[in-house]
Amino acid sequence: MMTTERSGLRRQLYRIGRSAGRRSGGGRIRAVALLLAGLFLTLGLSSVVALHASYDGIHVRTEKRSLQFRDAKPGERPTLLAIDGFDEVGGLQHSVVYVRPLTADAPLPPGVDTWPAPGQAVLSPGLVRALEEEGATGRFGEVIGRIGDDGLASPGERMGYVNPTDRQAAGASFRPAVGFGGPRGDRFGDVMFIKDRGHLMDALLLVLLPAVALAVVAARMGSAARDKRTAVVSALGGTWRARFWLNMGEAAPPVLAGTVLGALPGAAVAVTGNVRLPWIGYRLSAADLRHWWWGLLLSGVLAAAAVLLLVCLMHRTGGSRRVRSPRAVARGHGILRWAAVACPVLVLATVWGPGRLDPQQYADLRGQLYDTGVAAVLVTLPAVVALAAAAAGQRLARAARRTGAAALLVAGRHAAAHPGVTARVVAGVAMAMVVVSQIQLTSSQFGESAAQAKATMRKVGAGLLLMELRPAKVSRERLESVLRDLPVGIEALAARTEPGSSEPRTLFKGPCTALRSVSLPCTARPVKVATRETDPRVAQAVRWTGPVADGLYVQEGSVLDGPTTVPATLLLTSPSGRELPVSRLKQLVRDDLPIGSADVDVLGARWVLGANLAVAHGRWVIFLGVPGVVLLALALALANVSEFVRFSAVVAPLSVLTGSRRLYYGTAAWSLLAPLLAAIGTSFLVSVWLAAPQESPDRGITLSLGMLTGAAGVLATLSVVMWWWGARTAVRQAGQWRPYGD
């Protein structure tokens, strides 16, 4: 009997909460905010699940295909020869496993149906696509099949099993292997190039934290009426259980709807198939997600529970409402004024200050000062916009006296009286712009060597190529054959470091045509050349090949004539100074020389490959960070709409009685949209200024104005939506107003 009564009471309280939520001012905005909070938190937690599912899948499949070399299993019969090698396409490295089965029954790697014959390859779909994009489909010979998903670390992995031609195999360092799969095997593929899951987990916080912020904002939205309701329930003897059911009635439906929507993308991928993440290009494995289906389910449950818990915890139970005294308000205005004055000073100090310190001696201090400066600017920037809005507000109100624009009068006076409110309104977008620019800057940084390599690549480009050889693996005959096959008009110079003399020196040796192609003297005896006065290509080549930048000697002669017949380095040039065909020369080296014995590329390319990988990793930070920042801005924008609706309730009686609904659109334009757009413009400029000392094109650090403009566009669109929504909600709320004072 007692239980039935209790459940009846619960139902009753639930219903009261639900209808109170619908009727309360800004109830719909709160419902949308709660829905979005549930959605994004579920999406964030699903992403955490997807991250673990993907990494687990990658490690499991990588282990299942790991090469079992006979060295580790001396008792077993070798069934194939293998080399786990690398290649590069689209500026990014990938694994290539060169295999030569020894027996007809040699075990196949996972995802492969038949062994490729010599000169044939089985490649992953990702690698095939990348080769097609580069127009190099025949790079590894005839492609006879694709590796299935079960043989790939991830569906988008770029990897291949290549059975080399006999010419490529001759002299290559093959090692006997007994098969694939098992612990302690040789791992290859994506696992060599991806960052550990901790790094990505950190990046995911960029989405999770704003989602929590949104949940907090949604929980506190329209709190005045709810706090009052809760106080009444408490005063009537209602316990926390009663308050819980009231809160559930109001918040549970939108939160649950949000979590269902948030769980849909993960569930859809798990059910339908692999999906390519937009912009980042990573392919998410449906099988991995299916394996972690319980995690996806749990993320929805956890997100709903977390938002509802916040809703229950983050409301006052009466008696604790803060009353702001006039003195406190004045103090708040004083702080804002100080912050507004400090902001430009901080911008100048951040832009110029750290640069005054010696970068060698105070590298860390420079970084710390800069970061502190950026943080301080972030905090004070909204105050500038708020005080500017307050000053403009006074003028607008005075102008309204002349023009009779009621919206100007109301918004102007409001902005002048409450700069703190304006600061809150604009804080989100102002911070979002600066944070987006800083995320983009830090994610585009290369290492120092890669930066120099980039600079060299820009200066030299493909006008001079570097061929690096392993003399122990390349015979004189094989190299002669390569030199013979060089396209017409391409000359070769041997670059040798000669340690014999008192100081190490670099000797460039080759035929006169080759030496003259880079404006070097042609003499029978070695002659010293001042690097500073040479062709810039030569200066850079010495820098990248020799131990001393200015110790260059040149001599006419055969490239194969030296202490070791085959030099470790060859320089390829053309007398015409035109760009050399890098891809064609790479293929020539691949086809004519033993696997892994030589490589040809532009100067500094090897360093840049590592940097490109770092950039690819950095893209994840942008991929997750930018939506995170937009989410944060959305949270604050929703809070703004809620604040506007509360403010506009004061105008409701007047607007209803005079039938003026345009007042809300005008007031919202001046008190929401205009400050938001001003904040976007100001923070755009401040972001550009703050980026200036960090920018260094040689180190790959440049502020992407395109991205910043894009972010500004998104935030401006969001501001327009908030303006329209705020005004519309206020109009609707005003329509419900009735003059029932008591």
Partner 1 sequence: MGDVGGFRAPDGDALSAEGLRYEVAGRLLLDDVDLQVPAGRSVAVVGPSGSGKSTLLGCLLGLVRPSAGSVRVAGKDIVRMRRRSLERHRSRHMGVVFQFGELLPELTPVENVALAALLSGGKPDVAYARAARLLEDLGVPDAASTARLSGGERQRTAVARALINEPAVLLADEPTGALDTSTRDNVASTLFDVPHRWGCALVVVTHDETVARRADECLELTDAKLKRRDGGAG
Q: How many CB atoms lie within 10 A of CB 137?
A: 13
Give the residue, chosen from 162, 381, 416, 479, that forms a contact with partner 1 under the rule CB under 8 A: 416
* Residue partners of 232: CB distance under 8 A and separation at least 6: none
Specify whether the CB–CB gap between 496 and 509 falls below 8 A. Answer: yes
- Residue 582's closest CA among 454, 458, 698, 487? 487
Interface pattern 363-382 for partner 1 (x via CB under 8 A)? --------------------
Q: Backbone dihedral region of 546: left (phi > 0), alpha (psi from -120 to 50 degrees) or beta? A: beta
| Distance separating alpha carbons of residues 10 and 194, to the nearest angstrom | 51
301 binds partner 1 (CB under 8 A): no
Binding-site member from 291, 413, 424, 728 for partner 1 (CB under 8 A): 413
Q: At closest approach, how far in Å is the CB of 408 from partner 1?
A: 10
Q: Determine the Cα–Cα distance for residues 153 and 188; give it in Å rounded to an integer.
A: 9
By beta-carbon proximity to partner 1, the closer residue of 405 and 451 is 405
Rounded-to-integer distance, Cα 511 and Cα 523, Å: 10
Choose the stretch contacting partner 1; rule: CB under 8 A; options: 415-423, 468-476, 505-513, 540-548.
415-423
Report the residue from 414, 454, 606, 646 that binds partner 1 according to the rule CB under 8 A. Answer: 414
With tokens 């109301």, the residue in question is 410
Q: Count residues near partner 1 (CB under 8 A).
A: 31
CA nearest to 423, candidates 457, 456, 387, 447: 387
Minimum distance, C-beta of residue 650 to partner 1, in the bound complex (Å): 6
Select the residue interacting with partner 1 from 369, 410, 672, 703 (CB under 8 A): 410
Stretch that binds partner 1, among 222-230, 409-417, 628-636, 714-722 (CB under 8 A): 409-417
Going from the C-alpha of 461 to that of each of 218, 490, 583, the distances in angstroms are 54, 15, 14
Residue 153's closest CA among 22, 65, 280, 36?
65
Query: What is the closest distance, in whole angstroms, from the C-beta atom of residue 397 to partner 1 in the complex?
Result: 8
Q: Tell the smallest beta-carbon distance from residue 672 to partner 1 (Å).
A: 16
**Residue 469 near partner 1 by CB under 8 A:** no
CB of 416 to partner 1, least distance (A): 7
Q: Which of residues 657-716 bind partner 1 (CB under 8 A)?
A: 657-660, 663
Q: Measured from the CB atom, is 405 or 469 closer to partner 1? A: 405
Per CB under 8 A, the segment of 347-355, 394-402, 488-496, 573-581 that binds partner 1 is: 394-402
Cα 539 to Cα 578: distance, rounded to the nearest angstrom: 18
- Mark residues 418-457: x for contact with partner 1 by CB under 8 A, - for none: x---------------------------------------
Backbone dihedral region for residue 382 (phi beyond 0: left; psi -120 to 50: alpha; all else: beta)? alpha
Nearer Cβ to partner 1, position 7 or 658? 658
Task: Name the residue nearer to partner 1 (CB basis): 414 or 496.
Answer: 414
3-state helix, strand, coil in the chain (%, to 5): 60, 10, 25
* Candidate list 80, 130, 377, 397; residue touching partner 1; CB under 8 A: 397
Alpha-carbon separation of residue 482 from 320, 469, 586, 600 (angstroms): 85, 12, 11, 12
* From 406, 490, 507, 605, residue interacting with partner 1 (rule: CB under 8 A): 406
CB of 658 to partner 1, least distance (A): 4
Structure tokens at 673: 């949209």
403 contributes a contact to partner 1 by CB under 8 A:
yes
Q: Does 332 bind partner 1 (CB under 8 A)?
A: no
Residues 158, 159, 164, CA angle at the centre, nearest 5°?
Answer: 140
Q: Whole-angstrom Cα distance, residue 629 to residue 637?
A: 12
Q: Which stretch binds partner 1 (CB under 8 A): 171-179, 243-251, 404-412, 690-698?
A: 404-412
Q: Please, what is the minimum distance in Å from the beta carbon of residue 415 to partner 1?
A: 9
Residue 174 or 664: which CB sits closer to partner 1?
A: 664
**Can you tell me whether residue 527 is helix, strand or coil?**
strand
Is the distance from CB of 568 to CB of 466 less than 8 angstroms?
Answer: no
Comparing CB distances to partner 1, the nearer of 278 and 741 is 741
Strand ranges inside 231-307, DSSP E:
275-276, 283-284
Does residue 742 interact with partner 1 by CB under 8 A? yes
- Over the window 638 to 657, marking each residue x when it contacts partner 1 by CB under 8 A and - when it does not, the resulting string is ------------xx-xxxxx
Residue type, 11: R
Compute the least distance from the CB of residue 651 to partner 1, in Å: 7
Both tokens of residue 41?
């938190």
Report yes or no: 548 and 505 within 8 Å, Cβ to Cβ: yes
Which position among 112, 369, 409, 731 is part of the footprint of partner 1 (CB under 8 A)?
409
Binding site for partner 1 (CB under 8 A): 397, 400-406, 409-410, 413-414, 416-418, 650-651, 653-660, 663, 738-742
